[in-house]
């Protein structure tokens, strides 16, 4: 990765320009007139995202892995219908979050070489589709491991420090929100601790969904793609039990987190509600995805030659694994109370 100052030529001029830009961005975070409307006049400076395909906004586009989504029909409902590398038809929960907080419209991928200084300083995603806390997971998929994502964050800090100095970078990091969505494993504790050591003070950890309701899981478990499709409750209960343990772990961690706020984000409940009562939320199909047959297709199997449903907003899942933009938006709305609670504390 190139140093940030190389974008502007000589170091002295670079430092001057970056200081000006940082001041503008920092004032923006404090609720200045340049920003979007900020709920509760919050002072969140940026949003940083770590995890898997549910929050990967396109890093896999720049990484050697077969798990990509930078081709149609992915992105068909995104801005200008562009397939950005998000594993869905449109925006992710993190995009809705950063827009709601008042920072910008979407969270870009860190590995995008065209990112401006402002885009970098207001938050990026380090996430990678098919990644996870277990080191074996990205090894098998070729994804960016959580350990590598942390290395990239440390690299990010160094780049920003070169631009605006260490003290201002610390302020930016202290005021930023951190989102982690990456499945199970005890490694989560070490990852959170590392974020705290790096200056993270607002950390949200996303729990597991009802895994037995993913279309691909139903297909592979039942052995029949077409008949009697319903959630595999025994598998969903694994995620439910894990979430309970995770909440207890996070509560324990907060007691020695050096003032950091660690928040659990429950996605199990809203996904379960959408599947059990679809018409209440405007959905018509819950057990198969919009792309292809909807039973098995994801990433390369969901491609420009695949049949696609007419209206993805009527589906909970876009492919056989990942929710639609409509489903992500409902999950975001379900998380709004905990988001607002955090924003009120940083206003």
Catalytic residue among 45, 53, 57, 125: 53
236 in catalytic set: no
Catalytic residue among 56, 77, 95, 319: 319
190 in catalytic set: no
- Find out whether 94 and 47 touch, Cβ atoms under 8 Å: yes
Q: Which of 136, 156, 144, 124 is CA-nearest to residue 52?
A: 144
Cα–Cα distance between 102 and 149 in angstroms, integer?
25
Q: Report residue 331: phi and psi, to 5°.
A: -60, -45
Residues 6+ apart with CB under 8 A from 190: none
The 261-265 sheet, strands edge to edge = 47-51, 177-181, 202-206, 261-265
33 in catalytic set: no
- Catalytic residue numbers read 53, 319, 322
């Amino acid at each position: 990765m190139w140093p940030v100052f190389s974008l502007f030529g000589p170091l002295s001029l670079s430092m001057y320009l970056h200081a000006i830009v940082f001041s503008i961005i920092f004032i923006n975070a404090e609720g200045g007139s340049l920003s979007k409307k900020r709920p509760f006049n919050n002072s969140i400076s940026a949003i940083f995202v770590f995890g898997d395909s549910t929050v990967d906004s396109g890093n896999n586009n720049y990484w050697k892995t077969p798990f990509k989504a930078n081709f149609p029909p992915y992105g068909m409902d995104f801005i200008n219908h562009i397939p950005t590398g998000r594993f869905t038809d449109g925006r992710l929960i993190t995009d809705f979050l950063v827009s709601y907080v008042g920072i910008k419209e979407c969270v870009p991928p860190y590995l995008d070489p065209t990112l401006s200084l402002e885009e970098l300083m207001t938050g990026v995603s380090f996430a990678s589709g098919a990644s996870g806390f277990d080191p074996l997971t990205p090894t098998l998929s070729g994804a960016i491991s959580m350990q590598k994502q942390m290395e990239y964050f440390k690299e990010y800090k160094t780049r920003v420090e070169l631009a605006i100095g260490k003290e201002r970078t610390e302020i930016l990091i202290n005021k930023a929100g951190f989102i982690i969505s990456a499945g199970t494993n005890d490694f989560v504790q070490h990852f959170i601790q590392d974020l705290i050591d790096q200056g993270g003070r607002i950390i949200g950890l996303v729990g597991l969904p009802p895994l037995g309701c993913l279309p691909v899981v139903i297909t592979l478990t039942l052995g029949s793609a077409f008949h009697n499709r319903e959630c595999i409750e025994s598998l969903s209960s694994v995620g439910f039990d894990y979430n309970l343990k995770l909440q207890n772990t996070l509560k324990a961690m907060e007691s020695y987190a050096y003032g950091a706020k660690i928040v659990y984000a429950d996605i199990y409940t809203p996904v379960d509600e959408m599947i059990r009562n679809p018409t209440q939320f405007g959905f018509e199909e819950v057990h198969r995805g919009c792309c292809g047959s909807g039973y098995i297709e994801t990433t390369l199997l969901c491609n420009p030659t695949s049949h696609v449903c007419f209206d993805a907003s009527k589906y909970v899942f876009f492919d056989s694994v990942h929710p639609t933009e409509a489903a992500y938006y409902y999950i975001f709305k379900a998380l709004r109370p905990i988001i607002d609670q955090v924003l009120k504390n940083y206003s």
